A = this chain, B = another copy of it.
Amino acid sequence: MTAQVIDGKAFAATMRGKIASHVARLKEVHHVTPGLAVILVGQDPASEVYVRNKNKSTVEVGMNSYEHKLPADTSEADLYALIDQLNADPAVHGILCQFPVPDHLSERDIVARIDPAKDVDGLHVLNAGLLASGQRAMVSCTPLGCLMLLRDQLGNLSGKNAVVIGRSNLVGKPVAQLLLRDSCTVTIAHSRTANIEEVVRGADIVVAAVGRAEMVKGDWIKKGAVVIDVGINRIPAPERGEGKTRLVGDVDYASAAEVAGAITPVPGGVGPMTIACLLANTVTACCRANGFPEPEGLTA
């Protein structure tokens, strides 16, 4: 048996199409254009690429993109003044600050400064609390992407045994909350878990978000399980030439694909979902801010 490959890139493209239609409708019917503000402090080259991609994707679906590039030595006070201004700006429905930021700034304090209703990255403690108590939250993009792929693959998730490997605030814990909300039986496994292979072997759904290259082996996977691999790890690839590297997930793809019913590849699985979910969250935030109905299929 060879697993179906879950094409995150294609799914994300379809999702961006839905978002574009929704944005067009918001403009036509309500004369409102969702707007996403992205703050970049400093000139980290990787961050500049991410911000450029976010901007490009935002504009492509018909939304407004507001880029704010600040020098690396921007003071906390100046950064907060900008955030306060964006919080108050009715044309801005989503705000994110690209991380990492220079050392003199605190990521936690920056997130806390953003209006939770505009926190499209879903990082604010209040959003964690809303998610944890089953209320309407802004949900982090990667966890939301995992949920979307699973719903698309399985339909109703109720009663499925789900094992989430990893307990980070960014992925593992919110994914667990989302799967619990969809009525999975959820187990959270991590570095202290005894007999982790056995725990994973009981799962209909495996979400690996632990950050260890190819840790989850094929013989940990129950036949027919759906495997979502959130890991992105760069490892040496001498077969491609001296000094070359390649990206792998937290799952040993080759052996897992022999057993799983469906599996996300790395790259091309969960990764492309992240920006699509960021755009979805911006549309959601815009609808909530204006009292419009929640956009269907774009939220948890």
Contact = CB atoms under 8 A, between A and B. Distances in A.
A180 B166 CA distance: 11
Interface in A117-137: 124-135
Contacts of A134: 169
**Count of identical protomers in the assembly:** 2
A180 B173 CA distance: 10
A4 interface: no
B173 A133 contact: yes
Contacts of A236: none
Interface stretch (A142-150, A183-191, A245-253, A266-274): A183-191
Interface in A147-185: 158-159, 161, 167, 169, 173, 176-177, 180, 183, 185
Contact of A192 (B125, B127, B159, B173): B159
A193 B158 CA distance: 8
Most buried by B among A125, A167, A173: A125
B194 A190 contact: no
A134 B199 CA distance: 24
A210 to B, nearest CB: 13
B158 A192 contact: yes
Contact of A188 (B124, B131, B186): B186
Nearest to A174: B132
B177 A132 contact: yes
Interface string A184-210: 011111101110000100000000000
A199 B185 contact: yes
Contact of A183 (B127, B130, B183, B192): B192
Contacts of A124: 129
A211 to B, nearest CB: 17
Interface of A: 124-135, 158-159, 161, 167, 169, 173, 176-177, 180, 183, 185-190, 192-194, 199
16 contacts: A125-B126, A126-B126, A128-B132, A132-B132, A132-B169, A132-B177, A133-B173, A134-B169, A158-B192, A173-B180, A185-B187, A185-B188, A185-B192, A185-B199, A186-B187, A187-B188
